[in-house]
Structure 1
């Protein structure tokens, strides 16, 4: 069995420049430029350069003789390269998988016998606002493959016989998802969508569309659907309900109420099975004989010929079995892809279970022996492409680390070498402690240690307590602890501050440290032993908030208790980021048109406030506070009594917060220009910089 937690160097030769001795040197002349350099407002060099170009002979000077016409932007090709997938379906000896994060998404056909990608196509942008970046939902009807996309909830078809791809219609507006698709025996297709929480019917024969309306008041997610000759079965994520919809009349009937959201549904014979957290719901299709089975949280279900149900557990990815009538589930195999999410399970014969992993892999498990093997889909021929990065970390003079979806891309600053290895999830934030990097991982909520020298990984364990969304991570060098701000997953409000020992993994989790709020951010004053917190009244989503305003707070790390809590701006519900500096606590609000504040810590009153183009992340460098934000094309600011624009045109291509990582003693910051890794001169003494669009 191949462990995805071991170092995996992936060759992506079509996208990544070959190794060169110069600092992030350019690709070969026959390849697209890997490194470009531009001046303050326009392209200053038409070809790739290995490093900063010298300034022109006649140089405009800023205050104090600062040179501002030198090369101020360098780009180094895609920051994070992915072959991650979301949706998958099986038809006539082939698996059809759809990528996530790439624009446009790739639909690839994998020969199940050879485990090679034999064909791939892209899904074109539809007429609605926004563009697809992946397809969570895939099904087959009448020999054609159907894909439901996000963040535009559109429906596409692909004909394997002709290679034709068609955009069929939209099932909502930009920002929505087609989470699930299922095909009934007569060929009609059923889609579950977000954020309207609806089930739709699409008839491939006539192109007619039917909307079954609101399934439960306040529901946003129909996360899973299954269909038979008479009914559609839908799992509701917010309300935790399993419902049956009469396909003829549209009547909705509740079959079961789960303890939490329902994310997986399948039907077999006269029964429907669904996962609600760690409870397996097994119920007759008429709603009788409901069995609540103690299980583990599973993200995929497949029914064997004998009626046994197999599923893969989160967060580890192990395989479990349930036999109808059992009181629990039994583990039958170790994880074929450790820590991975499963997008599709399917039986290839009576004893071979096939799984498709979210990281971009395919595995086969011989159920009787428990032996499995794993195929990386990039190595099998899946076209890789740039994705939205999750996180970034600069190790000065050594490397830039970029967290992606179940992967880490590393750019060596000494050699120009690029490498990529797997990690068990999305690194939402990264920090350094000596020769180790620590990553806060979603969706497991674990803290991962990575050795700078070898890329070897060690798990420090899981935050637990429902804290699966670790948003912010800092290292406290005085107490030698990791600090984690997190939110719950699902219909819960209370987040947590976790204090983790990086040697032992011992974790002190303060759930509900801000009652009725989750935590999006924290900022450490190591000398005083105080960590400042930024709250979010929406929590994990799916349950009504009990507060109307997000809090800032101070937590004493010695006594491990809350010192104070204030709501600086009434009605503003989410702090996206907070940062302490020079007696002020700066905060960026998320859903409030780019509002920012600077709170005086002595008086706990607002000293400064204003509006930015959007929300993002704060950083402190050389005694100044900087912000990089989404929207407005991607903007960098310096914050003081007012906000001053330093750069425009960075793009809106981060998955999490836009970030700036400054080189020590310099105004150059590692950041993103579109989806490319970039190094940008943000000298506050120079005129505002415009970052050209790729190819501009």
Structure 2
């Protein structure tokens, strides 16, 4: 079920009724121009086998996909390395649809899955194959980030955005939660459970907490230096990963130890007391024993620059991992040699996913960023190909025969050769800048410009100026104090890049400002020229675009508000409402935007917002985009999760794709 905003619907209805100002109208279309086929479709834009949750029992693994609707739970025989059974998780009664399950646990002959973006709990009976919806922990927009099964069969779920731990009793279907674990916490990112306690890792506050399962009392075992995203039992001790620190503490809170570590995303404890972990962003394997001052790298990445969803020991000296990109690997700890299998090749049902980004190379190809993959549709042959990339390409830009991708969650800038698909890393932004939201190319200075936000409880984003040949970076953290950057727009001739801010930063810490800013940054002097807050209490710009003395801006958290800021006076000249938010594009002297919500709509912006398309769907992962072909009004976009080419001639009536 999909949520529908009454406010967005009302806004759209008013917008549809609003006439285009006469001074804004381009020449009328040729006779019959609006009567032909205005929507062409080309199949799924991006196909995925990516996973989030994984669990292992008795030589069988169980993985849950991300991005597909409905999510797929697949059973893999680890001996044959093939998928032997798969089921889908049905839509639950709450508003919204599950798209994946980060959290998995096995107990009492059943696999349990906690889903997002509806925080629901499902079970899969290993004997009968029956799938059941068990409970909803909140409304659409929430996550079950973590699940742990206690020895007595009770389940514990860590959720977002309420930052709570919940108990679910499969015997009675009874549910309880343990209240606020830390003021302001949103994410219980990791859990472990034993006979007496639940151990919870908090992402915002960086705390490791112990919860008494019987009386519900909560105490802090350790304070990390950053968010805690991994927790594991280790005999009578608990391990947790906090940034570049491994926390090792007895379960009663005594004998707290820390070890320097690469940022680890998965841990497994061996019977001999050795702990193995995989690191981000490289995916390498590390070793630790209690008392070590630091972890030790023992093997190269079995899946380069990939996330690890689960680590298990599956035989003498064999470490098995499940990769977020949609793969599984086996590492011989004695030799360091590894093998990798793509889960789609192993029989995992692939499906259409939400798209991260898109780029048109005119007369050559459309590039589509997915989860750890890039789909390319060759416009000359009509063929489609797919190759792996190390993360989610949040934005793409072209420079000659090279495309540059801003990658999450590593903050890496990746170069892709459009002739060979060869990848080259320009390195990482660093400085906690793991969310690169926008990238543009400055042809005058031959530099890449990147707008980014931090992860976790930090406010300051950065403007990064990157040399595309050498990878050298100048990273201006806090260029707009106490704001992250969501967007930038370049005036290459004047050498000014305009920045759009977000006062919430990485989230998890109270903002110090109440309104998002637009700032002008001089690329020669490398300094802010001016900064303004165009609209009071509007906290996040989704996108900005400079055009003919105006900066157009779309806000994210304010019912699709848009503005046009006069650069001469730095005051708002035009403003209005859209059905939601998305990216802006300038084409043939006109400003367009595509927006989420209200069914998915596109607009032409002038003194007012004129709808040019409706019913495109709300299936982008990041921000809806339009990519126009030069010299025409045809734009590459999505209809649902299908790649489409739309005729958005401004003088034609608003386009509505036919119902599938």
* TM bracket (short chain): over 0.9
Match of 1:292 in 2: 258
Match of 2:214 in 1: 248
Q: Is the 8 A contact 1:62 1:68 kept in 2?
A: no
Q: Does residue 122 of structure 1 match 2:92?
A: no
Match of 1:278 in 2: 244
Q: Secondary structure at the match of 1:215?
A: coil
Deviation, structure 1 residue 692: 2.5
Aligned length: 634
1:341 to 307, 317, 338: 307
**Deviation per residue, 1:631-651 (Å, 9 max, x gap):** 111110000011101010011
Deviation, structure 1 residue 160: 1.7
CA distance in structure 2 between the aligned counterparts of 1:115 and 1:688, rounded to whole angstroms = 50
Range with greater deviation from structure 2 (67-76 or 403-412): 67-76
Match of 1:608 in 2: 574
CA distance in structure 2 between the aligned counterparts of 1:347 and 1:290, rounded to whole angstroms = 26
**Deviation per residue, 1:257-298 (Å, 9 max, x gap):** 111110000012110000011111100100011112111100
Match of 1:70 in 2: 36
CA distance in structure 2 between the aligned counterparts of 1:210 and 1:373, rounded to whole angstroms = 43
Match of 2:471 in 1: 505
Gap runs ≥5 in structure 2: 1-26
Match of 2:126 in 1: 160
Q: Is the 8 A contact 1:523 1:578 kept in 2?
A: yes
Q: Does residue 515 of structure 1 match 2:478?
A: no
Deviation, structure 1 residue 173: 1.1
Q: Does residue 82 of structure 1 match 2:53?
A: no
2:385 to 419, 444, 450: 419
**Deviation per residue, 1:502-545 (Å, 9 max, x gap):** 00000010000000000000000111111000000000011110
Q: Does residue 112 of structure 1 match 2:78?
A: yes
CA distance in structure 1 between the aligned counterparts of 2:63 and 2:589, rounded to whole angstroms = 49
2:186 to 220, 232, 247: 220
Deviation, structure 1 residue 65: 4.5
Q: Secondary structure at the match of 1:77?
A: strand
Q: Secondary structure at the match of 1:513?
A: coil
Q: Secondary structure at the match of 2:563?
A: strand
Alignment of 1:300-315 (within 5 A): 300-315=266-281
Change in 2 beyond 3 A, CA 1:692/1:64 = closer
**Deviation per residue, 1:639-685 (Å, 9 max, x gap):** 00111010100110000010000000000000000000000000001
Deviation, structure 1 residue 365: 0.6
Deviation, structure 1 residue 161: 1.2
Deviation, structure 1 residue 611: 0.6
Match of 1:669 in 2: 635
Q: Does residue 437 of structure 1 match 2:437?
A: no
CA distance in structure 2 between the aligned counterparts of 1:372 and 1:96, rounded to whole angstroms = 21
Match of 1:385 in 2: 351
CA distance in structure 2 between the aligned counterparts of 1:661 and 1:240, rounded to whole angstroms = 41
**Deviation per residue, 1:435-487 (Å, 9 max, x gap):** 11110000000000001011010000000000000000000111110000000
**Deviation per residue, 1:581-628 (Å, 9 max, x gap):** 000000000000111100111111111111111111100000000010
CA distance in structure 2 between the aligned counterparts of 1:506 and 1:297, rounded to whole angstroms = 23
Q: Secondary structure at the match of 1:485?
A: strand
When the two structures are superposed, what TM-score results if normalisation uses the length of structure 2? 0.95
Match of 1:461 in 2: 427
Match of 1:209 in 2: 175
Match of 1:486 in 2: 452
Match of 1:576 in 2: 542
Match of 1:269 in 2: 235
Match of 1:53 in 2: none
CA distance in structure 2 between the aligned counterparts of 1:76 and 1:223, rounded to whole angstroms = 38
Match of 2:625 in 1: 659
1:236 to 194, 197, 202: 202
When the two structures are superposed, what TM-score results if normalisation uses the length of structure 1? 0.90
Q: Is the 8 A contact 1:144 1:158 kept in 2?
A: yes
Q: Secondary structure at the match of 1:502?
A: coil
Runs of 4+ in 1 over 3 A off after TM superposition: 61-66
Match of 1:55 in 2: none
Deviation, structure 1 residue 349: 2.2
Match of 2:6 in 1: none
Deviation, structure 1 residue 213: 1.3
CA distance in structure 1 between the aligned counterparts of 2:350 and 2:235, rounded to whole angstroms = 40
CA distance in structure 2 between the aligned counterparts of 1:416 and 1:305, rounded to whole angstroms = 54
Match of 1:646 in 2: 612
Q: Is the 8 A contact 1:304 1:350 kept in 2?
A: no
Q: Does residue 185 of structure 1 match 2:151?
A: yes
Q: Is the 8 A contact 1:305 1:350 kept in 2?
A: no
Q: Does residue 564 of structure 1 match 2:558?
A: no
CA distance in structure 2 between the aligned counterparts of 1:602 and 1:128, rounded to whole angstroms = 49
CA distance in structure 2 between the aligned counterparts of 1:64 and 1:338, rounded to whole angstroms = 53
CA distance in structure 2 between the aligned counterparts of 1:417 and 1:172, rounded to whole angstroms = 43
Deviation, structure 1 residue 143: 1.2
Q: Does residue 94 of structure 1 match 2:60?
A: yes
CA distance in structure 2 between the aligned counterparts of 1:470 and 1:212, rounded to whole angstroms = 35
CA distance in structure 1 between the aligned counterparts of 2:101 and 2:30, rounded to whole angstroms = 53
CA distance in structure 1 between the aligned counterparts of 2:72 and 2:586, rounded to whole angstroms = 39
**Deviation per residue, 1:553-592 (Å, 9 max, x gap):** 1011111111110000010000000000000000000000
CA distance in structure 1 between the aligned counterparts of 2:555 and 2:535, rounded to whole angstroms = 10
Match of 2:295 in 1: 329
Deviation, structure 1 residue 350: 3.5
**Deviation per residue, 1:147-179 (Å, 9 max, x gap):** 000000110000121111111111111111000
Deviation, structure 1 residue 64: 5.9
Q: Secondary structure at the match of 2:583?
A: strand
2:369 to 403, 408, 412: 403
Deviation, structure 1 residue 62: 4.7
Match of 2:588 in 1: 622
Match of 2:557 in 1: 591
CA distance in structure 2 between the aligned counterparts of 1:371 and 1:490, rounded to whole angstroms = 35
**Deviation per residue, 1:3-47 (Å, 9 max, x gap):** xxxxxxxxxxxxxxxxxxxxxxxxxxxxxxxxxxxxxxxxxxxxx
Deviation, structure 1 residue 66: 6.6
**Deviation per residue, 1:222-273 (Å, 9 max, x gap):** 0000000100000011111100000000000110011111000001211000
Match of 1:148 in 2: 114
Q: Secondary structure at the match of 2:106?
A: strand
Match of 1:48 in 2: none
Q: Does residue 258 of structure 1 match 2:224?
A: yes
